[in-house]
Amino acid sequence: MSRSRNSRKNPYDSDVEYEVELDRIKPYSETDSIDNYVPPSKQELEKMIMKNKKNQRKQGKAKRVVLIILLVLLLLIAALAATFLILQNKGKKDLMNFDDMNVSTIDGSVAESDGKTITYKGRTYRLNENITSIACLGVDKEELMVGARPGTAGQSDTNIVLVIDTAKGTVTAINIPRDTMCDVNVFTVKGNFVNTTHEQLCMAYAYGDGKKTSCENAVASIERVLFGMPINSYISLDMDGVGVINDSVGGVTVIPNETISGFEKGRAVTLHGSEAMNFVRTRSTDVNASLRRSERHVTYAKAFAQTALSAVKKDFGTITRLYNTTMRYCSTNVDLSKVTYLATTLLSKGFGGLNAVTVPGTMAAGEKYAEYTVDTEAAFEMILSIFYTEVI
């Protein structure tokens, strides 16, 4: 029934006019005859009108409360969106920094514009400035040392650089064997620079405080191996964190590349707890043992990335929980803004998992330890294929 408003005078008081909603105040049944109609008394009519006004005031107040709640919710959503955008933009700015490039080349190549353009074998390559890189270091300490003296901070048994193309949504994991021979900055126990020596990459981490300066020194050596490609971010992880982080995504299924310590080559196994630590840490004693273990690190990294990706697709909150868990066992300059930017970018681009390569080279027994010698030409061509695009 449509609502209508009508003004009529109170039959008992010609000096007072009342607004009455006819569809709300019905003094008689619609089925009754008009002849039987008995007008309400003045008191009854006043009660009906007061009740009507009271209901209107209650409805008006309820509407105002609802509007206030909606306004608050909108303001909260706007604040969250603004915070998200701020984090995303800050993360992008911090990750995309090519201001201090110091690119090295090989014979037959020419670098221009601080290495952003390289000519090699008659072809021209331009740096892909949509790329950012993160050095991921696995340290042979159960717990990262705080304020360690240089030389006692532990070694980086895992050295993997994640190269992320934010335009395409692809990630390439560059595995650099721990025994890679490269230039390493050496510091005294007081942190004073001594010199640069040519030794195993894993030693670079030792010459630091066990956290920040250890990571920075390792990154400096890694950049040298990668011909000066800039690495803006790093994360080092201790051994205690491996099993916990592994379990935070429900376990990781891998296929071992060798039979060792309870793992059978080619037989899939889902790792839980200490099994994950055993898988990435155990090695035999022959000259190529660390190289095979390095391959296992890549196998695990790829499997973990795929497992984590599946978990995130089911529940986006996995990213935050995984980040918070990892922070308890690591040293990193990858803050929430970087994680926010990378996570949203990769998911929006349809990230499907890691591609993995190992810096080309050969392993041999040195005077004291195994030594991995980089194939310079092959490694340089690998860098061009990952960090640059050919100018047609």
Q: What is the DSSP string of 198-221?
A: EEEGGGGGGSSSSSHHHHHHHHHH
Given this model, what pLDDT does residue 111 score? 93
* Per-residue pLDDT band at 55 (split at 50, 70, 90): low
Q: Give the residue with greater pLDDT, 202 vs 15.
A: 202
Least confident stretch, 72-76, 178-182, 351-355: 72-76
Residue 340 class from Cβ within 10 Å (0-12 exposed, 13-18 middle, 19+ buried)?
buried
Does 163 lie in the same domain as 184?
yes
Which tokens hold the place of 225? 């191996």
- In this prediction, residue 361 carries a pLDDT of 97
User: Could you tell me if 340 and 233 lie in one domain?
Assistant: yes
Q: Do both 155 and 303 map to the same domain?
A: yes
pLDDT value at position 37? 60
**Does residue 363 sit in the same domain as residue 344?**
yes
What global pTM score does this model have?
0.76
Please tell me the distance from the alpha carbon of residue 92 to that of residue 238, in angstroms, as a whole number: 27
Neighbour count for residue 183 (Cβ, 10 Å): 14
Same-domain check for residues 173 and 311: yes
Evaluate whether 353 touches 252 at the Cβ level (below 8 Å): no
Mean predicted confidence (pLDDT) in 375-382 = 97
Query: What's the mean pLDDT in 233-243?
Result: 95
Answer whether residue 226 is part of any domain.
yes
Whether residues 59 and 117 fall in one domain: no
Domain that holds residue 102: 98-129
Beta pairing partners, 330: 237
- Cα distance between residue 52 and residue 24, in whole Å: 8
pLDDT at residue 390 in the model: 95
Q: Which residues pair with 6 in a beta bridge?
A: 20
**305, pLDDT greater than 60:** yes
Using the predicted structure, report yes or no on whether residue 357 has a pLDDT greater than 90: yes
**Rounded mean pLDDT of 41-51?**
70
How much is the pLDDT for 58?
A: 62
Question: What single-letter DSSP state applies at residue 315?
Answer: -
Distance CA 205, CA 153 (A): 7
Residue 33 in any domain: the answer is no
Task: Identify whether residues 234 and 90 lie together within a single domain.
Answer: no
Instruction: Using the 3D structure, point to which of 110, 129, 148 is the last residue of a domain.
Output: 129
Same domain assignment for residues 214 and 354: yes
In this structure, the answer to whether residues 121 and 211 fall within a common structural domain is: no
Residue 134 and residue 270: Cα distance in Å, rounded?
27
Q: Of 78-82, 177-181, 282-286, 346-350, where does mean pLDDT reach its minimum?
A: 78-82
**Computed from CA positions of residues 202, 207, 211, 212, in that sequence, does the dihedral angle turn out positive or negative?**
negative
**Average pLDDT over every residue of 241-252:** 95
CB 234 within 8 A of CB 204: no
- Same domain, yes or no, for 195 and 334? yes
Q: Is the pLDDT of residue 172 over 70?
A: yes
Give the residues across from 159 on adjacent strands: 137
Which pLDDT band, with edges at 50, 70 and 90, does 258 fall under? very high
Examine residue 81 and state whether it is found in any structural domain, yes or no.
Answer: yes
What is the pLDDT confidence band of residue 385, given thresholds at 50, 70 and 90?
very high
Confidence bin at 347 (pLDDT 50/70/90): confident
Q: Specify whether the CB–CB gap between 133 and 232 falls below 8 A.
A: yes
Q: Cα separation of 290 and 280, whole Å?
A: 11
Instruction: Report the chain's mean pLDDT, rounded to a whole number.
Output: 83
H/E stretch holding 362 reads strand 361-365
User: What is the Cβ-side half-sphere exposure of residue 36, based on CA atoms within 13 angstroms?
Assistant: 7
Backbone φ and ψ of 268, nearest 5°: -65, 140
Residue/partner pairs of 82-86 with CB below 8 Å, 24 or more apart? 84/340, 86/337
The reported pLDDT for the residue numbered 13 is 46
Report residue 7's pLDDT band, with 50, 70 and 90 as the boundaries: very low
Q: Last residue of some domain: 129, 152, 177?
A: 129
Least confident span in 71-85, 168-182, 193-207, 221-235: 71-85
Query: What 3-state DSSP class applies to 145?
Result: coil
Average pLDDT over residues 64-77: 70
**Contact assessment for residue 370 and residue 185, using Cβ atoms and an 8 Å cutoff:** no
Query: Are 111 and 69 part of one and the same domain?
Result: no
Give me the number of domains the chain comprises. Answer: 3
Half-sphere exposure of 286 (CA within 13 A, CB side): 6
Instruction: Give the Cα separation of 253 and 290 in Å (integer).
Output: 22
Contact 359, 379 (CB under 8 A): yes
CATH code, domain carrying 143: 3.40.630.190
Say whether both 81 and 200 belong to one domain.
no
* 20 pLDDT tier (thresholds 50, 70, 90): very low
> Band of the pLDDT at 320, cuts 50, 70, 90?
confident
Residue 155 has what pLDDT? 94
What's the average model confidence in pLDDT over 109-138?
A: 94
Confidence grade of residue 351 (pLDDT, cut at 50, 70, 90): confident
Is pLDDT above 50 for 23? no
Q: Which of 83, 108, 129 is the last residue of a domain?
A: 129
> Going along 233-282, which residue ranges are E strands?
233-237, 252-254, 269-271
pLDDT at 77 (0 to 100): 63
At 114, the pLDDT band (50, 70, 90 cuts) reads confident
Residue 15: inside a domain? no
Sign of the alpha-carbon torsion through 389, 356, 338, 154: negative
Q: What is the mean pLDDT of residues 30-49?
A: 64
Cα–Cα distance between 169 and 258 in angstroms, integer? 32
What is the per-residue pLDDT for 264?
A: 94
- Kindly report the backbone phi and psi dihedral angles of residue 363, in degrees, each rounded to the nearest multiple of 5, phi listed first: -100, 140
Top-confidence residue, 133 or 29: 133
